[in-house]
Amino acid sequence: MKDRISRVNSLMQEKIAEILQREIFIKDVFITVQNVDVSKDLNYAKIKISVFPFKESKKVLEILKKQSSNLQRILNEKVTIKFVPRIRFVLDRIEEKAVRVEEILRNLKG
């Protein structure tokens, strides 16, 4: 079962990234699908995204939430598994943390 979940995670990540690239157009923003975490029962998928520039992340999440039913429909058409997990987008805060570390290092230098 664990192997199946990892295959579904990979498939979902690939397809969601493809869909976001083709269907969601937000000027001057770059969205990356960092990973997908499908629940053990395969009913839900938590999709971690990173947004560049990070300051636009709140706007991007709002857009993705509004478009989630449309994105779900497109995903259902593209993925050929018995039950396609319901998607939910969350923000990967690694970019925010990296910027903070860079600021701290810059302040230490002088």
pLDDT digits (tens, 9 = 90+) for 63-81: 999 999 999 999 999 998 8
pLDDT digits (tens, 9 = 90+) for 84-99: 999 999 998 877 787 7
Mean pLDDT over residues 9-28, rounded? 92
Q: What is the domain range of residue 52?
A: 2-109
- Domain CATH code at residue 14: 3.30.300.20
Say how many domains are in the chain: 1
- Indicate if the pLDDT at residue 110 is higher than 70: no
Mean pLDDT over residues 36-50, rounded? 95
According to DSSP, residue 104 is labeled H
pTM assigned to the model: 0.82
Cα torsion 25, 19, 48, 70 to 10°: value is 80
- The overall average pLDDT reported for the chain is 91
